[in-house]
Structure 1
Amino acid sequence: MHFRIKDGVTLDLLPTKQFKTIGIKVDFVAPLQATAITARALLAQVLETSTAAYPTQKALARELSRLYGASFGISVIKLGTKHVIRLTCSLVDEQYLDNFNDQQPLFEQGMALLKEVLFAPLLPDGNFDPMIFTQQRQNLLTAIKSLDDDKQYLANRRLQELLFTGQPTQAMSALGDTHVLNDLSAADVLGTYHDMLANDAVHVAVVGDVDEDRAQAAMADWPLADRTITDATPYYRWSLGDHVQNGDDEAPVVQAKLNLAYHLPIYRDDADFMAAVVFNAAFGGTPLSLLFTNVREKASLAYYASSGYNPFTGTLSVQTGIQAENQQRVEAIIAEQLKAVQQGNLSENLLAEVKASLLNARLAALDSPQRRLTGLLNTQLTHLHEPLAEWQKKLDAITVADVARVAQQVTLQATYCLHGGVQGAK
């Protein structure tokens, strides 16, 4: 069920008795701007830490404990041309609690807590608390730097920077830039906060045993005004480069990380979207795939080899862990797998197995409250809603020829290898 609360403010409700919990998600969605990404990431950190009523992390944790172990968090996400600040809250449905004796049901209390976080932050003297702000800025800086300890994450980020050279909104992490972070003041982030409340599209979603009257009543006193939302496309469309960008760096790694990025100009709203999903699954997106079977298992050239497809940016990426001296051989065998699919050399048996794995993954997602909530934002942004039966019908109809047609649109655009040098890779 979908409701308009105000202009630019919506509520999606998935009423179900399937779960013993109630999940709530609130997304604040803004156009992706390189100048705002870092401030929004820091804002999320600060809002997650304290409110006027719960001025410390300990006080906030105590309230979550009082709500029978409710979980709460705020994260930031890049989705095509959009930047999202996401609040999530999960609460036990009190009808499953033997000792529940509160006057107010837990769903309403959870919504009240989210209201407190959003609209009553800790603002002594009209600005964020200096000590909390400084601490959270340092925490975010540490978090960004610690991500680079994950060498596959680091290699993928460097690959994105290569692929989107001169396009900072796509090259930058959803957490922002450390250089910008160091220069942000509490006043800067307060301005970002007010801008978010006034101008972002707001998508609230609830899954659980909640009816529409309760859901709408719980939002009735949220002070959200109408906002003007331009229905800009969530898809980041970009032109094919005239040559492949290549990069590499040395790092203290035994296992080199070789990542490749391709242009795949098929987006979520394209007729060939389902064929692109099947192509990715057959190419490298599942343990059944050609990359896993031929690069890792048969040739023993990689510790792992997989691919991922992003239908919001029209990109396909390949991630591998290899011995550095095998880089050219690995690149060659990856190219061979792609060429085979482009020529239609994909067995009907593999196609059937890949389709079955995709269906199983879709069915598994229906058993996850959080994954069901996450899918609702995609539906909001793309205006595309596919019931399971319709989705499965499209999946069943995909042929080897469809997969080959998609593969023929895949063009290598960037390669990046993070290695330990000759000595470190042996």
Structure 2
Amino acid sequence: MFQQFELAQGVKLYVRPTEQFKTINISFKWKQQLTEEQAAIRAVLANVLQYSNAEYETNADFRKRLDDLYGAVLYFDTGKKGAHHIFSLNAETVNDAYLSNEKVVDEVFNLLHTVLFKPRLVDGKFVDSIVTREKDQVVERIQSMYDDKTRYAQQRLLENIRPNHPASISANGTVKAVKAVTNEQLVAMHQTILTEDNLSIYIVGDVNVEEIKEKIASHFPFTARSKELSNDVQAANASTENGFLHEIQDMKQGKLHTAYRTPITFFSEEFPVMQMTNGILGGFSHSKIFMNVREKESMAYYASSSYASLYGLIFVLAGIDANLQEKAVKLIDEQLKTMQEGNITDLEINQTKSMLSNQLKEAMDSARAQIEIYDQYKELNESFTVEDWVAKWSTVTKEQISQMAQKIEKEFVYFLSGKEGEGNE
């Protein structure tokens, strides 16, 4: 899927030459162990680098330069993947091949070099007013979660089942951690990213591979880094008893979030089988939870499950009226039990195989999605292809799915509702 090159120890280049797109997508991904403090520093740094550099006095000037380059896109971002925090720099530009006598791609590489290697510094520090402003922006981003009750409920569930664990640590850190970030920490983190973090560089587009390698080498003189990162996510001390927490806020629709644990993770040989199992449980509109909880019983405004494979967790989310909490929990439990007993139809299996396959194939229509999918699956096999993975689903049997369902154990129920639901506590 991607051609691979090691530019230096810990620095890899992945190129996918394809005529599928008229643009070229570029992504730098720096990886570091995930901690609350480091996540906060990196989230603020991403903002600071995005909005200030030594060559363009204002962000408006920088944006105008991007517009002049046929609307090129360039942005920093942060995220997390398992036990790792991902700091990324992304760009999309029109391919020179579709222009007459212009070299836009080189100009975009120059801008990438500028934002990365030429930040705006005063006496060796970032501008204090910019740091303060961007810290406030990250704080606002974190606090916005409280206005999205589904996100809030999911975070509260994670905090209860996996406190101080990568599963519950936000890629932005916490409000407290962000407010504590110092200018000196930002400068130090910038150097860490440039010289220490494991780095993967992705290029997707109609490109000459050798020319791209030369452009990367000339614009980005990254040196070797020796830091080895483990993919292992720390084991959680999960309770053997089912937990339950009901919290009340001023709201109408209840948010029912249930966590299940499983020993099957992204790195397990049985991972494709668990993908199928989750799909039948609640991953799609033909799934047991959707059909029985939402459609048949009309008990939920929405109902679905998701598989957080890097943490070995399955989540079932449902929007319900507060007085239906106990009935909904019981009905959801019944869907899993039905699968554990082997009550799975050929239609459910075939529909799930089809949905998973189409989902993955449709993602290939986006260059950005190609990068994200390969960035994850290359951890299993750097020769990953969509066709090979679809073939894994095609051989999954009813018996395997039932056995997978038996490895799913309920761990915690979190319910967020308005005051009318207090009686269910």
**TM-score between the two structures when normalised by the length of structure 2:** 0.95
Moved more, 145-154 or 107-116: 107-116
| Code of the aligned partner of 2:209 | E
2:256–2:416 CA contact under 8 A, matched in 1: yes
Match of 1:379 in 2: 377
| Code of the aligned partner of 1:108 | D
Check if 1:304 corresponds to 2:288: no
Match of 1:178 in 2: 175
Match of 1:88 in 2: 90
Looking at structure 2, the residues matched to 162 and 77 of structure 1 have their Cα atoms a distance apart, in angstroms, of 21
Looking at structure 2, the residues matched to 318 and 225 of structure 1 have their Cα atoms a distance apart, in angstroms, of 44
- 1:424 offset after TM fit, Å? 9.5
Looking at structure 1, the residues matched to 251 and 145 of structure 2 have their Cα atoms a distance apart, in angstroms, of 15
1:264–1:315 CA contact under 8 A, matched in 2: yes
2:261–2:312 CA contact under 8 A, matched in 1: yes
Match of 1:414 in 2: 412
Check if 1:216 corresponds to 2:213: yes
Match of 1:339 in 2: 337
Given candidates 290, 293, 301, the residue that maps to 2:291 is 293
1:253–1:424 CA contact under 8 A, matched in 2: no
Check if 1:326 corresponds to 2:324: yes
SS of 1:108's partner is helix
SS of 1:184's partner is coil
2:248–2:417 CA contact under 8 A, matched in 1: yes
- 1:56 offset after TM fit, Å? 2.1
Match of 2:231 in 1: 233
Runs of 4+ off more than 6 Å: none
1:81–1:233 CA contact under 8 A, matched in 2: yes
Looking at structure 2, the residues matched to 384 and 275 of structure 1 have their Cα atoms a distance apart, in angstroms, of 21
Looking at structure 2, the residues matched to 387 and 171 of structure 1 have their Cα atoms a distance apart, in angstroms, of 31
Question: Equivalences for 1:134-283 in 2 at 5 Å?
Answer: 134-165=132-163, 167-221=164-218, 222-238=220-236, 240-283=238-281
Q: CA RMSD in A?
A: 1.8
CA change 1:172–1:388 in 2 (3 A) is closer
SS of 1:197's partner is helix
SS of 1:28's partner is strand
Aligned residues: 421
Match of 2:61 in 1: 59
- 1:199 offset after TM fit, Å? 1.2
2:30–2:86 CA contact under 8 A, matched in 1: yes
1:234–1:381 CA contact under 8 A, matched in 2: no
Looking at structure 1, the residues matched to 76 and 17 of structure 2 have their Cα atoms a distance apart, in angstroms, of 23
Moved more, 321-330 or 114-123: 114-123
| Code of the aligned partner of 1:205 | Y
2:378–2:384 CA contact under 8 A, matched in 1: no
Looking at structure 2, the residues matched to 197 and 349 of structure 1 have their Cα atoms a distance apart, in angstroms, of 51
Question: Equivalences for 1:395-406 in 2 at 5 Å?
Answer: 395-406=393-404
SS of 2:334's partner is helix
Looking at structure 2, the residues matched to 5 and 399 of structure 1 have their Cα atoms a distance apart, in angstroms, of 43
| Code of the aligned partner of 1:131 | S
CA displacement, residues 314-365 of structure 1 (integer Å, 9 cap, x when unaligned): 1111111000110010000000000001111011111111111111111101
- 1:238 offset after TM fit, Å? 3.6
SS of 1:316's partner is strand
Looking at structure 2, the residues matched to 210 and 137 of structure 1 have their Cα atoms a distance apart, in angstroms, of 38
Match of 1:22 in 2: 24
- 1:376 offset after TM fit, Å? 2.5
Between the two proteins, what is the percent identity of the paired residues? 29
Structure 2 regions of 5+ residues with no counterpart?
A: none
Given candidates 7, 10, 13, the residue that maps to 1:11 is 13
- 1:188 offset after TM fit, Å? 1.8
1:282–1:354 CA contact under 8 A, matched in 2: yes
Moved more, 409-418 or 380-389: 380-389
Structure 1 regions of 5+ residues with no counterpart?
A: none
SS of 2:119's partner is coil
CA displacement, residues 204-263 of structure 1 (integer Å, 9 cap, x when unaligned): 000001121121111113131110031412545445422223223222211011101111
**TM-score between the two structures when normalised by the length of structure 1:** 0.95
Looking at structure 2, the residues matched to 370 and 182 of structure 1 have their Cα atoms a distance apart, in angstroms, of 32
Looking at structure 2, the residues matched to 144 and 35 of structure 1 have their Cα atoms a distance apart, in angstroms, of 14
Looking at structure 2, the residues matched to 84 and 386 of structure 1 have their Cα atoms a distance apart, in angstroms, of 21
CA displacement, residues 62-111 of structure 1 (integer Å, 9 cap, x when unaligned): 111011001122211111111101111111123334xx443x2x222222
